[in-house]
């Protein structure tokens, strides 16, 4: 049956249902596995880079091989497409990105700053305690912009290439980066390989997404000229070599500035800015970005599916 039918079915399921909390989720399993293996490897005072490499190899191997052989096993009964469909459904995050960030939006709309901070704190590693409303909105926009790549276009890119197993491997690397890829005293060496490989895997999807966001800005009536201008100018204004592409394109499209002063683990950081500070971001910008989110997801999926079909 190939990958086309599971890909279409998995994408549709994601758009309709998101990530139902009642279902066991492989990414949560990967997260628990990372914690367990890290606790076994993180000891002593030396060889942290090598130990981090072992962590990377163990987690990515398990994350790739289990889906691969599970699909092969069910293929013996002509049911492999069901496993592929379910995995793709759980790998993709278009609807769940909307659902989780919309909790922040709805709390702000009700004037419940405390609940908005709590909802945002579940999505980001930055400190939310002392945030004002404008900071919460800006952080939400940055989260959506960055996760368009991490949760949608990059996973799709690798599913197009290698099916659900490669998509799951990508998510494992992305989860490793989010858990051990910090540039602090504990993880600088231990998380080195996880962070670097995550950068490598996101390199092409991030750049494709940046350009696609400019096109989508035109399609949904946002400032596509400013989006392209800011993308070219500010795409490097980020600690990540990839995240700046989507965030800069979004900042330009909305006519706002992202980045700036942010607190992480009690320490204030002055992040480079992206976009022009014409005005403060507002709740309406989040609503506009939701339209961008869904249109970008659909177009990237459709284009990739078209290329995949032509190559078959």
Tokens of residue 79, six digits: 């049911």
Residue 260 bridge partners (DSSP): 271
Residues 6 or more apart whose Cβ sits within 8 Å of residue 186: none
298-305, long-range: CB within 8 Å, 24+ apart, which pairs?
Answer: 299/212, 299/215, 299/216, 300/152, 300/153, 300/156, 300/208, 300/209, 300/212, 301/11, 301/156, 304/156, 304/157, 304/160, 305/4, 305/7, 305/8, 305/160
β-bridge mates for residue 258, sequence order: 274
pLDDT at 25: 86
* Average pLDDT of the residues in 134-152: 98
* Cβ–Cβ < 8 Å for 188, 47: no
Question: Tell me: the pLDDT tens digits for 90-108?
Answer: 999 999 999 999 999 999 9
Residue 22 reports pLDDT greater than 80:
no
Output the pLDDT for position 117.
97
Contact call for residues 273 and 281 (beta carbons, < 8 A): no
pLDDT (mean) for 246-274: 94
Report the candidate in 85, 60, 56 with the shortest Cα–Cα distance to residue 70. Answer: 85
Tell me what pLDDT residue 24 has: 82
pLDDT grade for 267, boundaries at 50, 70 and 90: confident
Report the C-alpha gap between 43 and 51 in whole angstroms.
Answer: 9
From the list 228, 242, 235, 241, the residue with the least C-alpha distance to 258 is 235
pLDDT of the residue at 244: 97
Strand partners, 268: 263
Task: Write the pLDDT tens digit of every residue in 188-199.
Answer: 999 999 999 999
| Averaged pLDDT score across all residues of the chain | 96
Residues 305 and 312: their CA atoms lie apart, in Å, by 11
> What confidence score (pLDDT) does residue 58 get?
98
Q: State yes or no: pLDDT of 46 exceeds 90.
A: no
pLDDT confidence band for 1 (50 / 70 / 90):
low
As a whole-number percent, the residues of the chain with pLDDT over 70 amount to: 100
Tell me the β-bridge partners of 269: 262
When pLDDT is averaged across residues 43-47 and rounded to a whole number, the result is: 86
Compute the distance between CA of residue 43 and CA of residue 149 in angstroms, rounded to an integer.
34
CA distance 223 to 230: 11
pLDDT tens for each residue of 149-186: 999 999 999 999 999 999 999 999 999 999 999 888 88
pLDDT in tens, 239-256: 899 999 999 999 999 999
Query: How would residue 265 be classed by pLDDT, with cut points 50, 70 and 90?
Result: confident
Contact between 154 and 78 under an 8 Å Cβ cutoff? The reply is: no
């Amino acid at each position: 049956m190939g990958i086309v039918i599971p890909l279409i079915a998995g994408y549709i399921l994601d758009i309709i249902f998101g990530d139902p909390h009642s279902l066991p989720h492989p990414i949560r399993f990967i997260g628990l596995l990372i914690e367990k293996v890290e606790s076994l490897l993180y000891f002593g005072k030396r060889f942290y880079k090598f130990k981090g490499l072992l962590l990377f190899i163990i987690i990515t191997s398990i994350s790739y091989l289990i889906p691969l052989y599970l699909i092969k096993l069910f293929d013996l009964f002509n049911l492999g497409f069901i496993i592929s469909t379910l995995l793709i459904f759980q790998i993709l995050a278009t609807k769940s990105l909307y659902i989780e960030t919309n909790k922040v939006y709805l709390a702000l709309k009700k004037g419940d700053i405390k609940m908005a901070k709590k909802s945002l704190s579940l999505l980001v590693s930055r400190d939310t305690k002392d945030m004002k409303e404008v900071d919460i909105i800006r952080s939400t926009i940055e989260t959506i912009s960055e996760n368009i790549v991490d949760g949608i276009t990059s996973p799709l890119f690798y599913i197009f290439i290698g099916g659900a197993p490669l998509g799951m491997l990508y998510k494992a690397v992305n989860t490793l980066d989010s858990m051990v890829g910090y540039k602090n005293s504990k993880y600088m060496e231990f998380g080195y390989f996880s962070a670097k490989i995550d950068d490598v895997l996101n390199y092409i999807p991030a750049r494709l997404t940046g350009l696609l966001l400019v096109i989508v800005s035109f399609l949904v009536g946002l400032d596509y000229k400013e989006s392209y201008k800011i993308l070219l100018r500010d795409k490097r204004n980020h600690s990540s070599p990839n995240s700046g592409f989507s965030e800069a394109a979004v900042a330009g499209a909305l006519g706002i500035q992202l980045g700036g002063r942010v607190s992480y683990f009690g320490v204030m950081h002055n992040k480079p800015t992206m976009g022009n500070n014409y005005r403060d971001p507002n709740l309406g910008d989040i609503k506009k970005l939701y339209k961008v989110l869904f249109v970008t997801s659909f177009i990237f999926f459709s284009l990739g599916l078209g290329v995949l079909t032509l190559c078959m």
